[in-house]
Every structure is written in structure tokens, then in C-alpha cells.
Structure 1
Amino acid sequence: MTSIQIAGGENDFQLVRHLTVRGDQFEIGKALAREARTRSGWAPRPGDQTVNRARMAWFERFWPQHHERLDGVAAAFDLDPDRDDLVLDGLNALPAGSGCSALWCPPSAATDGHGRIARNYDFFTLTTSEIMMGQAAVPGELPMASRPYVITTVPDEGLASTVITMNELDGCMDGVNEAGLAVVLLIADVRNAAPPESFDLRVGLSSVQLPRFVLDTCENVEQAKRALLMAKHYDHGMPLHYLIADASGQAFVWESERIIDAGDAPQCVTNHPLHRHPDPMLLPADDESTMDTFGRLRTLHERSKEAPLSAEGLAGALREVAAGADKEWRTTWTSVLDTHDRTLTARFYLGDTPEGGTRFTGEVRFATRPDS
């Protein structure tokens, strides 16, 4: 495994690392566990034995890549992988104690024939204590979004991928695999979002595991639809929806077990249920509880009509709806996932300027197979 600091620093809001991990899934899991232990002191935690046995059986049958990585996590801590009293996943790399916008441009609507998802990952600049518990940050506690990772995994067998994650090394928020399948997650109903009452794990896929599951097991949209319809999945009281697209130009939004097909047109997603508001021209007005979700989608919808869109035009549309220093949250990164080139390009938030603006890194580009 290689670990490189690629953006920001201790005096910036974000410090971003890029991990490249090669080998079989066992070795990948062991390497990620060691990184989580080194960066945050993470360790397996006690869990309900009945639930753990069922979770591991589900992973072994439906997500064997993850199951093999969990064996590697156990090895990193010199544990018996068959122990059922410990939870081996949830590799949080944030030292202990989102509204978003996305636009899919299919190949037919791009100036160069490349399908792309562009997205803003919007999140509060607060700590876990402040967001989840309504308490003051403890001494030394970092903001939740301050230490993101870009992770490239190149398994001996299976699909290579590059992802961005805010904190959990075995999940992700954005990603693309070597088959050209791309996925991003967004809060599905920001008006009714609330901090989860419990983070108890259940059988199936958690919210941030779902994108990684799709990238590990699927090569195209049709496979992703079938896999998600067959999978068990759960959230922690804050439902998400997911924009998924492939190299052929197909795309859909997965929302509360509903499939919303994009057809051959651009698809805009922000933070309200699309199945309740299918027509962008008939969206209601925003209020204090909606974090501009309707206005952001209207803007993206209008920009999508300007097709064909270049890569820069797509990024420009996302800049129009980015959260600035006048908001309670920030666009903590902007990414572009190119399904043709199988690449992920991102720029990261570093902090605010004295003039009331925001500072970002330049664009950094990552391939799913760095040697290809």
C-alpha cells in the first residue's frame, strides 16, 4: 500500500490522502485496517453476536469481496475471523472524539462523447459532537469532513476502482470502477433529515457501504439495478439516494428502493425525493429547512439544457450551486467521474478567504488502474 498526502495540510480545513492498495481482497482489508488504526486508533468493537453472524453470512453470499476484506481486518488485529462478538467493519479514519448536488451528462449530451457525473459534496464544517450530539467539540476533535481519503484499490481478481470517502475507509461517497460504472450518494430528504438515534449495524448494506458494493460487484447499470433490488440495505435514520451511471450512457437514481431512469437525457439530483417532485419546472419554493435543494436543482436543470456540455461546462454548472462562506455548510469537494476514461477528478476545500470567499485546491486526477 502507498499513502500520499495530495492536498491541504494541518493548517487548512482539509488534509487529503490518497491510498493505493493492491493484492487480493484479504490483503486490501488488512492494509485499510492498519491505516484506520494508525490514523485514528480504530479497533473492532463489540457487537450483537446474532446480528454479526447474520451479517457475515450475508456478506459471504452476496458481497464476497467485502467478506474477504473483513478476514484481512481480523488478521491486522491478530483476531480469529470467525469471532462473532466483534464488528470488523466501519473503518473510521477520523480521529475520535450533507446536502449535495449532482449532474449526470450522458455521452450523447457531451461535446467529446464522454459520459460524466459532476457533483458537489456539501457538508457542515462541524465535528461529530456538534452535529450528532448537539454538544461542544471536545479538545482536539476535528470536523467530520476535514480528513477525506481518495482510495484506489486494485485487486488481483475483480474490479479496480477509485473512490472518495469522508471518513469510512470501507465505504465511499463517490466512486468509479474500471468498467466505467460510477456512483455518488446524496441526502434524499434534507427537509426531514435528523441525526441518527443509533448507529447499530444491521444485516445488509449500510448507507455508505452501498456505493462500494455496487462498484465491487457490477459493471453496468442493469447489473446495478438487479444487485440493489436483491440486496438488503438500511440507513441510520438519514435516508440517502444514489446517482449511478455507466460507460454506455445509461443512468438511474436509486431512491427508497425505487428506480428513476434517466433515459438518454441529463439527470440532476440534489436533496429532495425525486419521485415526489418528478418535474423540475414544478418544484416548490425553498424555505429555511431545505438548504436550497429546489433552487439548486432548477439551476442545474437549466444548465443541462445547454447541451452539448464540455467537461468545463459541467464543472461550471456545479460551481454555480456550490455552497459559499455565507452558508452554514461548505462544498467540501467537487468531483467529476468520467465513465469513458474511468477516472475521477476532484478539487478540495481548504478554507475561507478574508474577503468572504472560499479556497480550493487545483484539480487532481485519478485513474482506476494507475498503471494503465
Structure 2
Amino acid sequence: IQKARLIEKIAELLMARKLPLLEDIRDESAEDVRVVLVPKSRSVDPGILMESLFKLTELESRFPLNMNVLSRGKIPNVLSLKGVLKEWLEHRREVLIRRSRHRLGEIERRLEILAGYLIAYLNIDEVIRIIREEDEPKQVMMARWSLTDNQAEAILNMRLRALRKLEEFEIRKEFDGLTIEKKQIEALLASDARQWSTIKWEVSSIREKFGPETELGKRRTQFADAPEHDLTDIAHAMIEREPVTVVVSEKGWLRAMKGHLTDHSLLTFKEGDSLKLAFHAQTTDKVLVFTTGGKFYTIGADRLPGGRGHGEPIRIIVDMDNDQDIVTAFVHDPKRKLLLVSHDGNGFIVPEEEVVANTRKGK
């Protein structure tokens, strides 16, 4: 996450009044990163303030992990975490085999050249004579010592200063070393057990270099248990607390007027519509709407349309059936109990907390 972008985002939220617990943000970074968050007051809970920032900014990012992959590079498949790890190990084995075969090819080509050099050193005088006197020295050497084209070409390209006893010793040393390495690679390619043992060693080497205790691998951040906060408190923390007057019309239009109005005679409505009820609330409150269908709908007061127009029909805000009408609406009080009575005289008492709906479909 880019520090400048984060500060810019928080500043935008402050301007939009979506972080009511935060007064200001300052960048006091020097060599280290230092971003200062200034709360509105000393009474602000730091945990709730940070939770609101986590929810609204890139300080916390969540993303789904859908492991839909090409298994073995060919077969589309959705794998579990265990399956992905197994595929990775199989990939490491394939890389090991391909790398070993490539190295084996390089060794065989080099051994071919070195074998030609050794033949040249054993017959150095004859090689010099052929090069000086023959018109086609390459073909003559190939016929004389059964050399390959690559060997003969390498001998012809050999520099005179390489014709030293010390150079012959180095060639023999390299030849013997590559011969041993060739046998080791051939044994590796012929044994599954050796391959998995090599992969284990490679993974262990990576851990030694990038493990959590190393300078390169140590975590820059720490794991910790998520703080436990009331979700309601967090939701309220992201809403600017302001007084509003909720207005409900006879035809089911809702709006929230700024402030606590006492004179409702100045309210205007669409033609043929009129005031059904109005009550005071805060933008952090939940408004419960009870309908003739026996359902409760829950609407955040901050989500109600403003009071400049006539508001919006409730059916735009919640999924209320067309044959239902609003019976009443009020501010939610979690400690209160409600008495519900039907037209035929049956009724019951229900805790108000149990009628709060978290979806548009109501409860």
C-alpha cells in the first residue's frame, strides 16, 4: 500500500464526513514511516477508530481465493490448499528433471570436446604436422583418430598457448570432474527417491535463506487476534451523528429532514399525499417500519433520502410487496418489547431486538 495514496484516501473520507471519530491526519515521516491520526476527542476508543479505518481504507484488504488452476499445465481444475501444494511439489520435480537433463546435455557436449583435446595432446606432433601440411586437416584428423566434427573443429580452434603441460593437467581434471557429475545426474534421473530427496534439500535451503528467523525472511508485520468490538459501535463510528426528523407520508414516501423539527405544517408532499407520521432520530439510529403484511423492515437513518425533495418510496429502499402499506415507524430501542395485535384480537409480545432485519426482505 502506498503511504501517499492511503493518506489521500483518508483525507477524502474526512472531507466526506465518513470518519466522524477522526479529526485530522498528519504525515510526520522521516526515515521511517510515521502517520499520525488525531481523534475528535480523548474519549474516542482507539480500537473502534482503527476498525472504522480498516473497513473504509486499504489498511485492511480482503480478497477471495479461488484456486482454479491448470493442473499440470493442461487440465482445468479447482484445487484445495493441499492439492495446490502437491501440484507445486510436482512442478518442482519437473523443473529438477528438466534442469538435470539440460545440465547432462551440457556435460556430454563438454566431455566430447575434452576427449578430443586429450587425443590432440597425446598426438600433438602429428596434429601440428597435419594442420601445417594437409589441405583438409579437419577431415584428415577425423579419419585418423575417429574424431567427431565438434572435436576436430575444437582442435583447429585451439590457441597455441593452450599447448602446455599445465593445460593438459587442467583438462584431465575437468574431464574427471564432469564424468563424476554425469554419473550423479544419471543416477538422479533414474531414481524417484533421489529426486524427492533433492527437492527436500532445495526447500530446506530456501527456508534457511528466507525463513522467519533470517534477515530477508523475517516478517515486517505481526500476527495478532482480531480485536473484539461491538459491530453496532463500529457501524455508528462510521456515521456522523446528527439530529434528523424522519417523515413518512400516507403513500409510503420516506425522507429525513435535518434537525429536530417541531412544526410539521411546513412540510410539503406530492399531490394527493399527506403526512402520516414524523419523529425525531439521530443519523446513527435504526428505523423500524412495520407493515400491514406483518413484517418489520430495518432502515438506517443515515440511508434515508434527504429532505430537499419529497423523499423516496419505501419500496425502493426495501423489498416490500405492492399490496402492503406502512402501519407505523419508529426508532429502534434494543431494550424495548413490542406488543403486536392482529385484527382478530390475537397478539403476542416480542423483544424489539428480534424484529431487526439485516436484509431488504425484512423479518
Fold shared by both chains (TM-score > 0.5): no
TM-score range normalised by the length of the shorter chain: under 0.3
TM-score (norm 2): 0.19
Larger helix proportion of the pair: 2
Larger radius of gyration: 2
TM-score by length of 1: 0.19
* Larger relative contact order (Cα-Cα within 8 Å, sequence gap ≥ 6): 1
Q: Which has the higher strand share?
A: 1
